[in-house]
Amino acid sequence: MQDDQVIEVINKLIKERRSSFPMEYNGKKISKAIVDQVLYNANWAPNHGKTEPWRFKVFHGESQLTLFQFMAEHYKENTEKEKFSQNKFDRFFQKAELTSHVIAICMKRDPKGRIPEIEEIAAVSCSVQNIYLTITAYGIRGYWSTGGGAYSEEMHKFLKLNNDEKCLGFFYLGLSDNSLREGERRHINEKTEWV
């Protein structure tokens, strides 16, 4: 490919990146080889001090069902009776059927404490953007969610995270029969000041 073709592909991928929610998926499974490539690309995110703070736990099949059961029970146990929604509780199990894989997005702090936590969170976020761009290239759908008690102590224990690790959410992967929605952004000039 010529450089201008590569640039056009990159520009298109960035513009076409979307969050697609699990209820939009069709239940078909993504191959392990593609999920491996998604994670490989996530590993190439920028990070201060070469700490590579991202950690991923991939749930599929039975382990995925166990994860969604845990999320549903956590929701039920931590929601006031008058605010509890049976429909929301049931959707956890629908998501389990429709989603191909769920990746727990985790962060491991630099053991030497050289890097501020905010910078390690930013590095993990960059790795998630690499996930988004890769799945866009493959025509896969995805969504970074912080629901299901992601930040809770119970989830920390469920994921068997150490004291120097945190869960930053879950990335749902799936396939869909529907077209992607058109994206919308206000013009960049509204958010830019040239100094």
- Helix (H, G, I), strand (E, B), or coil: what is residue 63? helix
With beta carbons less than 8 A apart as the criterion, state whether 155 and 148 touch. Answer: yes
CA distances from 42 to 72, 135, 155, 184, 194 (A): 28, 11, 23, 25, 32
Confidence of residue 7 (pLDDT cuts 50, 70, 90): very high
pTM of the model: 0.94
pLDDT tens digits, one per residue of 118-165: 999 999 999 999 999 999 999 999 999 997 799 999 999 999 999 999
Burial environment of residue 174 by CB neighbours within 10 A (0 to 12, 13 to 18, 19 or more): buried
- Report the C-alpha gap between 11 and 16 in whole angstroms: 9
pLDDT tens digits, one per residue of 25-78: 999 999 999 999 999 999 999 999 999 999 999 999 999 999 999 999 999 999
Within 10 A of 57 (CB to CB), how many other CB atoms are there? 16
Q: Is the pLDDT of residue 14 over 60?
A: yes
By 3-state DSSP, what share of the chain in percent is helix, strand and coil, each rounded to 5? Answer: 50, 15, 35
